[in-house]
């Protein structure tokens, strides 16, 4: 299976306020892995929550979690059959992000390709914008 990194389409128009357009994209491998983990953990009805918080060696860190709650300031999107939730503050940093899943003994896992990042750390889990 090819797990090469794909480049997100950064020339696509931004959504107009009130429209539901996905802020992030998942590769087929990332979507399949998210669905598998939801099923394996018995978390049907949960969303893949993608967020950003302060920290890490580059200033901001990515967060991934499964969540059954949707807050007042959350946006919900269906991406390849995965319900994705992003809070509005994180959305500022995540627009156009492509998330891949790499199956490898070393360095495997979910990988972020963020066109908004001015620099990223070597492990790929933190960035600055």
Read off the pLDDT of residues 25-71 as tens digits, 9 standing for 90 and up: 999 999 999 999 999 999 999 999 999 888 655 578 889 999 999 99
Query: What average pLDDT does range 111-127 have in this prediction?
Result: 63
Helix, strand, coil abundance in the chain, percent, nearest 5? 15, 35, 50
Residue 32 lies in a domain: yes
What pairs with residue 47 in β-bridges? 67
Residue 12 lies in a domain: no
How far, in Å, CA of 17 to CA of 42, rounded? Answer: 35
Q: What is the pTM of this model?
A: 0.72
pLDDT of residue 39: 96
Residue 17 lies in a domain: no
Residue 75 lies in a domain: yes
Residue 32 neighbours by CB distance under 10 Å:
16
| Residue 29 structural domain | 24-123
Residue 10 lies in a domain: no
What is the three-class DSSP state of 31?
helix
The count of structural domains within the chain is 1
What is the three-class DSSP state of 33?
helix
Residue 47 neighbours by CB distance under 10 Å:
22
Residue 86 lies in a domain: yes
**Angle 65-67-69 from CA coordinates, rounded to 5°:** 150
**Domain harbouring 88, CATH code:** 2.60.300.12
Residue 4 lies in a domain: no
Output DSSP code: residue 60: E
């Amino acid at each position: 299976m090819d797990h090469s990194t794909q480049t997100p389409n950064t020339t696509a128009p931004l959504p107009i306020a009130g429209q539901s357009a996905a802020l992030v994209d998942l590769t087929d491998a990332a979507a399949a892995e998210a669905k598998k983990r939801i099923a394996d953990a018995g978390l049907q009805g949960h969303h893949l929550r993608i967020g950003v918080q302060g920290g890490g060696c580059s200033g901001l860190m990515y967060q991934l979690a499964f969540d059954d709650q949707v807050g007042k300031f959350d946006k919900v999107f269906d991406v390849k059959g995965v319900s994705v939730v992003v809070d509005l503050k994180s959305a500022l940093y995540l627009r156009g992000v492509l998330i891949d899943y790499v199956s490898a003994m070393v360095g495997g896992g979910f990988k972020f390709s963020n066109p908004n990042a001015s620099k990223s750390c070597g492990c790929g889990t933190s960035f600055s914008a």
